[in-house]
A = this chain, B = another copy of it.
Amino acid sequence: MIELDFANMMTDIIGENGLSERQVEALKPAAAKAHEEIASREKPGLAFMDLVKQDTSAIKDAAREIRNDSESFLILGIGGSALGPKTILEAMSPMHNLRKTPRVFIYDNVDPVTFENVLSLIDLDKTTVNVITKSGSTAETMSSFMVLYEKLKGRSGKVVATTDPEKGYLRQIAEADGFSKTLPIPPDVGGRYSVLCPVGLLLAEVAGVDCDELLAGAARMQERCSDPEPWKNPAYLYGSMLYLMDKEEKRNITVMVPYSDRLRPLAEWFCQLWSESLGKLGMGSTPYPSIGATDQHSQMQLWMEGPQDKVVTFIRVEDHGADITIPRVFKDTGVAYLGGHSLGELFNAEEEATELALATAGRPNMTLKVPKVDAAHMGELFYFFEIATAYTGFLYGINPFNQPSVEMSKNFTYGMMGRDGYEAQREEVEKARGRVTCWRL
């Protein structure tokens, strides 16, 4: 069971930079309203809560076929459509492509160099392409799919389209076209809340992970996070504290530091979830992806002595599942003290030391203690962060399920790419191009 240790958030422990119990108490009316939003299920985006009880048989069948037929599994997706699969892959099968098959490539950009490199590494007769976009209009994903669609003609490689079950261009293409197998992104499940639908689960099964275990973990966390009372609900308490630290204590940065290489992408996944859900109407703290112990040699100076603008969340893994003893060598040097300990021991000691150092310096931090990195605990973590984010969105009084402000950039791109109806945007780009040349160095 994952445990949330929030001692180092409280004034009792870290002094004046902490939160008082009274602050959390005072938030209770807002917390009750936020809970009501969640419990009533009126906002469409809350459909991610139903994913724990989905039927996974079609996913398992598709994955079995891919494992049997394909040397390579190539995901085309961006945002949640890439971060979910990437997080599962790295957590459950680190260094996958050097160790296992089918090899997995997650192409999550429009960088032609990366795409050429991927193409040079796969045999299109033995590749399954998994194109993931709910709307079917995502320019990055669809442009690379268009390239592959053309290249796959006359080859025995396959396509699985993960998209809206009824609407959108990709659904339209899939239905018009013989070769496409499809999996649904359920209605009202947004990209950043989609890891536990076929978006993430197909990859999980292809990489040899039982996706039902992911869902079982998520279900367990759902049960734990159903209490309306923040003091009894870890996700609500977590969200409440980050909210209070941002709104009342002016800490606008929330750092996420797993002490496990396998959880590095989890921090990125969380950052997308938090940023896109909460960054609205001038509000939203900025989530920062980090990695321990590595970033003790990169970010920690700033956390310890920089501005008082951060809250740090550690993710500590109790049992890494492997360990290596440090031999008693170099006895005449100052590193002799390391001999006889293990790497895992040093790793977790550094995590604990960093918590304590921050607390001692009056810098608020929390720790999620994860027994081990397996499918069930990954499911717990995904659900924990999703429900905490939705709850925090309701505290801010914003809609945690839309992303209205990404449109302007898309529209300028459409203008440059000559899409009909975006002539005005094209003109604006032209004007800007003329304007800026005098300001260069």
Contacts and interface: CB of A to CB of B under 8 A. Distances in A.
Nearest to A149: B329
Interface string A7-28: 1101001000000000000000
A335 B136 contact: yes
A230 B307 CA distance: 26
A157 interface: no
A146 B330 contact: yes
A327 interface: yes
A345 B358 CA distance: 46
A103 B360 CA distance: 43
A19 B63 CA distance: 54
A32 interface: no
Contacts of A191: 297
Contact of A261 (B80, B109, B272, B278): B109
Contacts of A352: 412, 416, 429
A30 interface: no
A358 B432 CA distance: 12
A4 B440 contact: yes
Contacts of A337: 414, 417-420
Contact of A110 (B4, B114, B334, B350): B350
A204 to B, nearest CB: 18
A405 interface: yes
B302 A276 contact: yes
Interface in A137-175: 137-140, 142-144, 146-147, 149-150, 169, 172-173
Contact of A169 (B108, B237, B333): B333
B441 A237 contact: yes
Q: How many interface residues does chain A have, given as a range?
A: 35 or more
A174 B325 CA distance: 22
Interface in A401-436: 403-406, 408-420, 428-429, 432, 435-436
Interface stretch (A35-43, A50-58, A279-287): A279-287
A318 interface: no
Contacts of A99: 117, 120-121
A354 B410 CA distance: 8
Interface string A326-355: 110110111101110111111101101110
Given A121-B99, A309-B286, A335-B146, A301 B275 contact: yes
Contact of A114 (B261, B302, B310, B346): B261
B335 A406 contact: no
A94 B108 contact: no
B260 A324 contact: no
B299 A275 contact: yes
B146 A327 contact: yes
Interface in A255-290: 259-262, 268, 271-272, 275-276, 278-284, 286, 288-289
A304 interface: yes
A145 to B, nearest CB: 9
Contacts of A381: none
A291 interface: yes
A99 B4 CA distance: 43
B324 A146 contact: no
A10 B279 contact: no
A333 B173 contact: yes
Given A294-B109, A298-B272, A432 B305 contact: no
Contacts of A261: 109, 111, 113-114
A153 to B, nearest CB: 10
20 contacts: A7-B439, A95-B117, A109-B294, A109-B347, A113-B261, A113-B262, A114-B261, A115-B324, A143-B326, A147-B326, A282-B307, A296-B406, A300-B405, A301-B404, A337-B420, A349-B412, A353-B411, A354-B412, A356-B432, A361-B408
